[in-house]
Chain A
Amino acid sequence: AQTVTQSQPEMSVQEAETVTLSCTYDTSESDYYLFWYKQPPSRQMILVIRQEAYKQQNATENRFSVNFQKAAKSFSLKISDSQLGDAAMYFCASCTGTASKLTFGTGTRLQVTL
């Protein structure tokens, strides 16, 4: 079984600043994938970034990057140069190579202030 834990129910960041959202996970599988999804008020799930567990290099997508610590089973998301449009719920998720179904964390609500 997989579990995903997000210990920060809410976070706040000033516009143009950097914020890091935490996520830890647990899995017995060796082949797995990790994701960060964004859910704005529209409730549409938007993929932010994806990390393959077998890759040591941290994934990066423009202003979004992850810090993947495999031994610690940690997968944090860093948002640089925060923008008002980044305000949303952020969900960390995992899936195994064989199951292909996502297990989500409880989410972190990010507020972006002026």
Chain B
Amino acid sequence: GAVVSQHPSWVICKSGTSVKIECRSLDFQATTMFWYRQFPKQSLMLMATSNEGSKATYEQGVEKDKFLINHASLTLSTLTVTSAHPEDSSFYICSARDAGAGVNSPLHFGNGTRLTVT
């Protein structure tokens, strides 16, 4: 089955530093990837849609300069949390759709990244 690898699975960083999270589709190409954020015991909130070769589309209320998204290849999207603060601590999950499987094929999710900012 289609696999999405997300790395790192857990990261602790100091306030003010930047953290990069990678999302890779291992056995399929993904022109579109999605980045979600999940607070403890809450639902997944879509942050942005990552489009290969073009700018990401951010949801309302998400700071694009704070959460930098790069989708430079058909198998890799990165989310960089810049100048991280404790309130950025959360669980970040990416998902990807197989470009060859149709626009309404199921999404494949990564295992998520737990970010803790101290």
Given contacts A43-B91, A45-B95, contact A33 B44 (CB under 8 A): no
Whether B109 sits at the interface, judged by CB under 8 Å, is yes
> Could you tell me how many residues of chain B have their Cβ less than 8 Å away from some Cβ of chain A?
20
A91 to chain B: which residues have CB within 8 Å? 43-44
Question: Are B44 and A104 neighbours in the complex by a CB distance under 8 Å?
Answer: yes
- Distance in angstroms from A33 CB to nearest chain B CB is 6
DSSP majority for the B interface?
Answer: strand
Answer whether residue A55 sits at the interface, using C-beta atoms and an 8 A cutoff.
no
Q: How far, in whole Å, are A101 and B60 apart by their CA atoms in the complex?
A: 14
A35 to B107 CA separation, bound complex (whole angstroms): 10
A-B contacts counted at CB < 8 A amount to 46
Q: How close is A98's CB to chain B, nearest CB, in angstroms?
A: 8
Which residues between 14 and 43 of chain B lie within 8 Å of chain A, taking CB atoms?
A: 32, 34, 38, 42-43
Say whether A103 contacts B46, CB under 8 Å: yes
Provide the B83-118 mask, 1 if CB < 8 A to any CB of A, else 0: 000000001010101000001101101011000000
A42 touches B111 (CB 8 A): yes
The 7 closest A-B CB pairs, nearest first, are A45-B109, A104-B43, A104-B44, A106-B43, A43-B112, A47-B106, A44-B111
Chain B interface (Cβ within 8 Å of chain A)? 32, 34, 38, 42-46, 49, 91, 93, 95, 97, 103-104, 106-107, 109, 111-112
21 A–B pairs (Cβ distance < 8 Å), ordered by A: A35-B106, A43-B91, A43-B111, A44-B109, A44-B111, A44-B112, A45-B109, A46-B109, A91-B44, A97-B104, A100-B104, A101-B34, A102-B34, A102-B44, A102-B95, A102-B107, A103-B46, A104-B45, A105-B43, A106-B42, A107-B42
